[in-house]
Amino acid sequence: MPGTRAQQREQTRRALLREGRRLFAERGYGSVGLAEIVQATGVTKGALYHHFDGKAALFRAVLEQVQQEVAEAVARAADEHDDPWTRLTAGCRAFLAASTDPDVQQIMLVDGPAVLGWAEWRAMDEAASARHLAEALADLVEKGIIARQPVAPLTHLLSGAMNEAALWLAASRDPGDLSATQAALTRMLDALRDR
């Protein structure tokens, strides 16, 4: 029986995450109430509070899930290539592509910083993806593909540029903006190459 209870708890947690994510993505954090989440999930408020301290904690878990999915998409795109430069550019392009998903935009780019505050959102972003960007840049510096320089400032500049581009894309309604943004990013990255 203990395994069954643990399985039920995990199913409840997954259901809360699934329904919370759906509602946050559809309407935004501010327009979703706890009563609506528990009703959609079919559990009690007590069950929600067993897993999360409240709506903000549930949102944080949903955001972590979304950031992890984006990081995995970036890693998959990068891992398709052996060349370290191509790995970097493919990963950056994949980040921009992933950030055009309306659910990702609403949860990760619009509500994330607003709900959790810039500092916490930034720390989560660094844990999810900026660390991989820093590793890729350090590898390129070490191999002489990018001029020797401190990696931390470069990582923050590129991460900030890509996050800003993703926010801009979130507000854009022109389907051509993604390819134009990816082309601009490619030109910006090419400028870093040590020729």
Output the six-digit token pair for 160. Answer: 């900030």
> Where is average pLDDT lowest: 58-62, 63-67, 152-156, 171-175?
171-175
Higher pLDDT, 163 or 181: 181
Q: Cα-flanking dihedrals φ and ψ of residue 146, to 5°? A: -115, 140
For CATH 1.10.10.60, list the domain ranges present in the chain.
1-52
What distance in Å separates the CA atoms of residue 104 and residue 158, rounded to the nearest whole number? 19
For CATH 1.10.357.10, list the domain ranges present in the chain.
56-191
Given this model, what pLDDT does residue 3 score? 67
Give the type of residue at 128: A
Given this model, what pLDDT does residue 117 score? 94
Whether 132 shows a pLDDT value over 80: the answer reads yes
Residue length of the chain: 195
Enter the pTM of the model. 0.88
Spatial CA neighbour of 91 closest among 109, 73, 64, 104: 73
Output the six-digit token pair for 98. Answer: 């992933």
Whether 195 shows a pLDDT value over 70: the answer reads no
Output the six-digit token pair for 117. Answer: 């505050």
pLDDT band at 2 (very low <50, low <70, confident <90, very high): low
According to CATH, the superfamily of the domain at 56-191 is Tetracycline Repressor, domain 2 (1.10.357.10)
What distance in Å separates the CA atoms of residue 162 and residue 64, rounded to the nearest whole number? 19
CATH of domain 1-52: 1.10.10.60
Given this model, what pLDDT does residue 129 score? 81
Given this model, what pLDDT does residue 58 score? 97
Mean pLDDT of 1-23: 88
- What pLDDT, in 10s, does the model give residues 15-62? 999 999 999 999 999 999 999 999 999 998 999 999 999 999 999 999
- What pLDDT, in 10s, does the model give residues 65-124? 999 999 999 999 999 999 999 999 999 999 999 988 889 989 998 999 999 998 999 889
Q: Please give the C-alpha separations between residue 107 and each of 24, 73, 89, 114, 123, in angstroms, as whole numbers.
A: 7, 17, 25, 10, 16
Return all residues near 121 (Cβ < 8 A) that are at least 6 apart. 63, 112, 113
